[in-house]
Amino acid sequence: MSSRWADTEADRAEEVRRKKEKEEKKRLKLQKQKEAEEAAARAKAQQEEDARPSKKRKLSPAGEGGSKNATEERKLMRFDAGGWGPCRHLSNFEIVNEIAEGTYGHVSRARELATGAVFALKKVKMDFAVEGFPVPALREIALLQKARHKNIVDLREIVLGESFDEVVLVLEFIEHDLRTLQDDMPEPFLPSEVKALLLQLTSALSFLHENHIMHRDLKTANILLSNRGVLKLADFGMARFIPPPSAPLTQYVVTLWYRAPELLLGALSYSTEVDMWSLGCIFGELLLKQPLLEAKNEVDQLSKIFALCGLPNDKSWPGFWRLPNSKSLKLPRNAPTDNGSAIRAKFPIAGKAGAELLISLLSLNPDDRPSARAVLEHQYFKEQPKPKPASMFPTFPSVAGQENRKRRDTPNAPRRGDVPRLGGGGIDFSGLFAGRDEEQKGAGFMLRMG
């Protein structure tokens, strides 16, 4: 007789049923957990998809490209969007010392309080009574924002002072300007250093001209040099985009000592050739360590130009007599064409190639002056001595960091709205070319005013 506690068939069946029920509950629990994880992953993916910018599907007509275009990977073009934002306040900077004052602004050396970095601050001179916000400042801001080049000073930002008439340009700080630096140097730059400086300046000028920009105030005071031998072109207050050929321009641009003869004679239509004349004046100044054509007024400037470059005639400068102020000049029509003898005699250190380059840059006829690109490829830079590398350039004490420093008096850039005048009264220059045997006897000229 079996025990009443022995397992029966019914007990075993019940145990199997309970085991299956337990396994089913466990399976359902795991399934719900998996579905919840999948739902969370889908929600996260949807959020990421919504955060991306929408892409427009490009639809191409049937038969154009076919399956080839469908399989090619399309690359999105990226553009600088830019944007508007508030200007920072001038209080973010601490003025260290004054550097200089020009026609259109005051320049100071300043330190940014947050970073300790040193910058040059150019405060715009306001004249609301005449024209509101100065046009030269507007042009300088617009052009410096576009002219990004290793040899052009970098405009970092624009800040405001306590009032709206206190607008300050924040520029990178460069230790020297060539005008002050040459005054403090006991000797001129070496030929290899002159080549290095001229190459960098011409590179900046070529960039501007190829982007249809005229500087119109090239001079050594507007050329900066760092202690690392890097040259930077600055002061774009008179720069502008090149207009169409028929558009009239003011002839009263460029500081007097670097002003081209066609501007002195009243030309209303000109282009990048006026910058190339200034480049020639700077080239000569680097060799001499003093301004090449240092005159007191427009009449004196013309006399010095003609003494160095010769008298214009119908062959050397066909359009000379059509210039407005040329009618005030009394010149011989058959004046001999100058062959550059005065320039060669004045610059023996430049060598044959250097003298030829200088003669071409100081051509009276604007059409005979080379472009900046042609100057960069000139033989002068290929012969010995080669241009000195920037890393080997000498360093000098930073004059811009001194509070009270002596600066040589140089003429300022012309003010907007001024009109050039050659003066009044008769001025006789008939003895200007006396003693120059290579020219025709008596081939002087007289300037008649009135």
Active site residues: 217
**Is residue 407 a contact partner of residue 180, using CB atoms and an 8 Å limit?**
yes
The residue to which tokens 């030929």 are assigned: 191
Q: What is the DSSP string of 164-196?
A: TT-EEEEEE--SEEHHHHHHH-SSPPPHHHHHH
Q: How far is CA 252 from the centre of its chain?
A: 21
CA 224, 228, 234 angle in degrees (round to 5)?
Answer: 15
How far apart (Å, rounded) are the C-alpha atoms in residues 225 and 181?
9
Closest CA to 155 of 171, 133, 139, 138: 171
Nearest to 372 by CA among 203, 119, 184: 203
DSSP 8-state class, residue 386: P
**Cβ contact 259:387 at 8 Å:** no
- Asked whether 253 and 263 are in contact (CB, 8 A), the reply is yes
DSSP string, 254-298: S-GGG--HHHHTT-S---THHHHHHHHHHHHHHHHTS-SS--SSH
In 2-154 the beta strands, taken as DSSP E runs, fall at: 88-89, 93-101, 105-112, 118-124
Place of tokens 């508030």: 86
Contacts 24+ apart (CB under 8 A), 234-237: 234/152, 234/153, 234/171, 234/174, 235/102, 235/140, 235/413, 236/139, 236/140, 236/143, 236/144, 236/147, 237/102, 237/103, 237/104, 237/105, 237/136, 237/137, 237/139, 237/140, 237/413
CA distance 66 to 159: 55
Identify the H or E element spanning 344. helix 341-346
